[in-house]
Amino acid sequence: MTGGLLVLPVAGPLLVAGLLALVHHRWPHTTRLDRVVGPAAAGGVLVFAGFLLAATSGGAVPVLQLGGWQPGIAIVFAADTFSAVMLAVTSLLVLVSLPFAAALGEDEDPAFVPLVLVLLAGVSGAVLTADLFNLFVFIEVMLVPSYLLFAAGGGAERLAAARLYVSISLMASTVLLAGVGLVYGVAGTVNLGELAGAAESSPAVGFAAAVVLLALGVKSAVVPLHGWLPQTYSRTGPAVAALFSGLLTKVGVYAVIRLYSVVYGGAPRYLWVIMAVALLTMVVGVLGAVGEHAMRPVLIFHMVSQIGYVFVGLALSTATGLSATVFFLVQYVLVKTALLMCAGVVEHRYGTGDLDRLGGLARREPLLAGVFAVAALTLAGIPPLSGFVAKLGLASAAAAAGHHLAVALIVGVSLLTLLSMVKLWNGVFWEPPDEQPGADGDAEPGEASAAADGGASPVASALGSRVRPLVLAPPLFLAASAVVLGLWAEPLLSLSTVAGADLADPAAYVAAVTGR
Amino acid sequence: MTAALVVGLLVASGVFLLLRRGLLRVVLGFVLLGHAVNVLLVSAGGMQRRGVPLLGEAEADVAADPLPQAFVLTAVVITFGITVYMLALARAGDPGATTGEPAPGEDADRGGEAADLDQRTEGGPS
């Protein structure tokens, strides 16, 4: 594959989004067209990512020096196996999330699909660029549509969360830009190839790059910079939350891993900071979930906890640790999106995600319960599901590096995750709903339309149609992929081994980017 | 030195405004922070050489570094767009804008400054 094609996953979705916006301007009611064109564009990026994976897994690093300038000055795109894996996962998520949003009716807004495609273009650009400033630009390209999607539909609570989300994101972006400026000031370049190893050899570059890492830490919601995530993601639309959980924070995670691997050269000097942050994130995230009593907030605290797992492999900075991280990241993104989709379906159909007001859904919605159970067990890491393979990889890599505390916490936090998932399972699917007439009298009006119909009785006993199977197709697909990746892990394991080896020794990537 | 002082002053004022109640002050705080970062970016290219960075206009040893200027141009556009959107968010949260009635508990979320802004715009000629 020639490097010139690398611009396609960025330009393609942008072009389609622009054309769709033009069509909407002329003919306002073309939701059906959107439902075909949006997934088709995401599918196109997925196919491209497949070809890219085939090309990069052999060790090739396609590179594009845009604008005909010399390497080092040109705007540079480059892809190694890690980039290709991320591109494949993110485009797959968009491909699955668009029908889910359509099934929940969240895509009625004519701007929805074009905005999601711009978001996809930003994500593609962020994982393909090899230039710090363009990383900032693509993160902004990704964030601006996310601001609009976040607030779409309105409602006082959602707008208040949107203000918080925009403020935090803007703050992080400002710090990111300042960090890029500092890196340019001390190193004289923002090209990742030219910066290779610079932060390891020069403390000034190390400090400047640390400002960038700090900003990316806010984006990827690591403790102690995680406070905004549960406050915001549980208050937007269910489909939007599922989409964001797979795309936005993961781009932050990708950028941190890429930067530490290339700019710091995996320097062992600072690894203890990453390890401390990773372990703290795991523990604080899982403990935060204990205090929550609704589906989405619990799941979002687990999102924080799982991001900690991802960073454990980076903190080891060995080839096995990094490949375990790549494997973990891929399977976790799929499973977490499946779980958030399940929570979204429950909220959409029954009007609430509150554990006290739900119950007994296992009998009413056997398919939904099955999907949730598989995804929840995967998140906890029960064999033979993919979460087990991922955590086994991380734990054995940590044990090989002699980090016994990390091994203990990987196992212990998994146990707490399982407890938390059992709490959700019991509250939503298993136990009969609490028979306390009037107990939900303090519930916010308008939040639970189903409860309003059924008077004071708990939500789940309100009769009516069940969830349509079509709505469950996207989470079912993602949960099935968790089973497949667990039983037949070999292809992804070999890909992540290549990606981990490239990250541990980024010489090929650096050589391709600098053109030397 | 001047650039460092300007950046410090802008960051200090920006952070002060960010910590105030009211979305309007927060937005203005972000504007100041954005300016601070822009000055930082320009100074990252070196403050001594200020020639026009075009072939035939200035010698290479006096021409300014054009790359940070391009960075700033990009950053200004992005900051401007997001600032406008944040102002719209401050306005969209105003329940009076669509229904004419304040929602209960809504005033607690919003700062007094945003409310002032709303009253001013409502009272003004429109």
| Whether A28 contacts A108, CB under 8 Å | no
Q: How many CB atoms lie within 10 A of CB B16?
A: 12
In a 3-state reduction of DSSP, which class is residue A173? helix
- Please give, rounded to a whole number of angstroms, the shortest distance from the CA of A137 to a CA of chain B: 8
**Any bridge partners for residue A77, and if so which?**
A64, A129
| Contacts with B84 (C-beta within 8 Å, 6 or more apart), sequence order | none
- Please give, rounded to a whole number of angstroms, the shortest distance from the CA of A212 to a CA of chain B: 13
Please tell me the pTM assigned to this model: 0.89
B 18-77 → A contacts, CB under 8 A:
18, 23, 26, 30, 33-34, 36-37, 40-41, 43-45, 67-68, 71, 74-75
User: What's the CA angle centered on B43, arms B40 and B46, to 5 degrees?
Assistant: 155
Cβ pairs bridging A and B (under 8 Å): 76
Phi (first) and psi of residue B51, to 5 degrees: -70, 160
| Whether B97 contacts B106, CB under 8 Å | no
Q: Is B117 on the interface with A (CB under 8 A)?
A: no
User: How far is Cα of residue A395 from the mean position of the Cα atoms in its chain?
Assistant: 22
Q: Is B126 inside any structural domain? A: no
Q: What is the spatial distance between Cα A410 and Cα A312, in angstroms, rounded to a whole number?
A: 9
Query: What is the DSSP code (8-state) at residue A188?
Result: S
CB contact under 8 A, B82 and A170: yes
Among A258, A30, A9, residue whose Cα is nearest residue A141: A9
Question: Which chain B positions have a beta carbon within 8 Å of A133's beta carbon?
Answer: 71, 74
Among A369, A387, A367, residue whose Cα is nearest residue A377: A387
User: What's the CA angle centered on B44, arms B42 and B46, to 5 degrees?
Assistant: 85
CB contact under 8 A, B71 and A160: no
| Contacts with A48 (C-beta within 8 Å, 6 or more apart), sequence order | A5, A8, A9, A12, A87, A91
Q: Is A174 on the interface with B (CB under 8 A)?
A: yes
| Whether A150 contacts A162, CB under 8 Å | yes
Chain B interface test: which of A159, A190, A444 (most B C-beta within 10 Å): A159
Amino acid letter, residue A332: Y
Q: What is residue A445's predicted lDDT score, i.e. its pLDDT?
A: 42
Nearest to B37 among A137, A140, A178 (CB): A178
Question: Which chain B positions have a beta carbon within 8 Å of A179's beta carbon?
Answer: none
Nearest to B92 among A144, A159, A171 (CB): A159
CB contact under 8 A, B45 and A184: yes
The answer to whether the bond into A384 is cis (omega within 30° of 0) is: yes
CB contact under 8 A, B30 and A178: no
Query: What is the DSSP code (8-state) at residue A489?
Result: -
pLDDT confidence bin for B1, thresholds 50/70/90: confident
Q: Is B124 inside any structural domain? A: no
For residue A44 the two structure tokens come to: 């196109």
Helix (H) or strand (E) holding A65: strand A63-66
Question: Which chain B positions have a beta carbon within 8 Å of A163's beta carbon?
Answer: 23, 86, 89-90, 93
Chain B interface test: which of A163, A171, A207 (most B C-beta within 10 Å): A163
Q: What is the spatial distance between Cα A102 and Cα A350, in angstroms, rounded to a whole number?
A: 18
Nearest to B40 among A151, A167, A178 (CB): A178
B-chain residue closest to A186, CA distance: B44
CB contact under 8 A, B41 and A181: yes
Among A413, A382, A392, A385, residue whose Cα is nearest residue A313: A392
A-chain residue closest to B70, CA distance: A133
CB contact under 8 A, B82 and A147: yes
Question: Which chain B positions have a beta carbon within 8 Å of A182's beta carbon?
Answer: 40, 44
Maximum Cα–Cα distance for chain A, whole Å? 73
Question: Which chain B positions have a beta carbon within 8 Å of A185's beta carbon?
Answer: 40, 43-45
Query: Please, is B1 exposed, middle or buried when counting C-beta atoms within 10 Å of its C-beta (0-12, 13-18, 19+)?
Result: exposed
Alpha carbon distances (Å) from B16 to A28, B38, B40, B53: 44, 19, 19, 36
| Confidence check: pLDDT of B98 > 60 | no
User: What's the CA angle centered on A390, arms A196 and A393, to 5 degrees?
Assistant: 70
User: What's the CA angle centered on A222, arms A428 and A371, to 5 degrees?
Assistant: 25
Q: What is the spatial distance between Cα A152 and Cα A236, in angstroms, rounded to a whole number?
A: 9
User: How far is Cα of residue B10 from the mean position of the Cα atoms in its chain?
Assistant: 11
In a 3-state reduction of DSSP, which class is residue A68? coil
- Please give, rounded to a whole number of angstroms, the shortest distance from the CA of B53 to a CA of chain A: 15
A 442-471 → B contacts, CB under 8 A:
none
Q: What is the spatial distance between Cα A136 and Cα A252, in angstroms, rounded to a whole number?
A: 11
| Whether A451 contacts A83, CB under 8 Å | no
Question: Which chain B positions have a beta carbon within 8 Å of A167's beta carbon?
Answer: 26, 30, 86
Please give the average per-residue pLDDT across B109-124, as a whole number: 42
In a 3-state reduction of DSSP, which class is residue A249? helix
Residues of chain A with pLDDT under 50: 437-458, 460-461
Residue-number span of the structural domain to which B88 is assigned = 2-119
Structural domain count, chain B: 1
Chain B interface test: which of A184, A232, A236 (most B C-beta within 10 Å): A184
| Contacts with A389 (C-beta within 8 Å, 6 or more apart), sequence order | A327, A331, A485, A486, A489, A493
B-chain residue closest to A150, CA distance: B89
CB contact under 8 A, B86 and A170: yes
In a 3-state reduction of DSSP, which class is residue A131? strand
B33-76 pLDDT, tens digit per residue, is 999 999 999 999 888 888 888 888 878 788 888 889 999 999 99
CB contact under 8 A, B43 and A185: yes
Q: Is B125 inside any structural domain? A: no
Q: What are the DSSP E strand ranges found in B1-126?
A: none
What end-to-end distance do the CA atoms of chain A give, in Å?
19
Chain A interface test: which of B40, B77, B110 (most A C-beta within 10 Å): B40
Phi (first) and psi of residue A191, to 5 degrees: -75, 125
Question: Which chain A positions have a beta carbon within 8 Å of B93's beta carbon?
Answer: 156, 159-160, 163
CB contact under 8 A, B78 and A137: yes
CB contact under 8 A, B26 and A167: yes
Amino acid letter, residue A205: V
What percent of chain B is predicted at pLDDT more than 70? 73
Nearest to A177 among B75, B95, B109 (CB): B75
Q: What is the spatial distance between Cα A395 and Cα A407, in angstroms, rounded to a whole number?
A: 5
| Whether A116 contacts A243, CB under 8 Å | yes
Q: Is B72 inside any structural domain? A: yes
CB contact under 8 A, A166 and B86: yes
C-alpha gyration radius of chain A = 22
| Confidence check: pLDDT of B123 > 50 | no
Q: What is the spatial distance between Cα A499 and Cα A82, in angstroms, rounded to a whole number?
A: 5
| Whether B95 contacts B101, CB under 8 Å | yes
Among A254, A249, A260, residue whose Cα is nearest residue A143: A249
Phi (first) and psi of residue A204, to 5 degrees: -65, -45
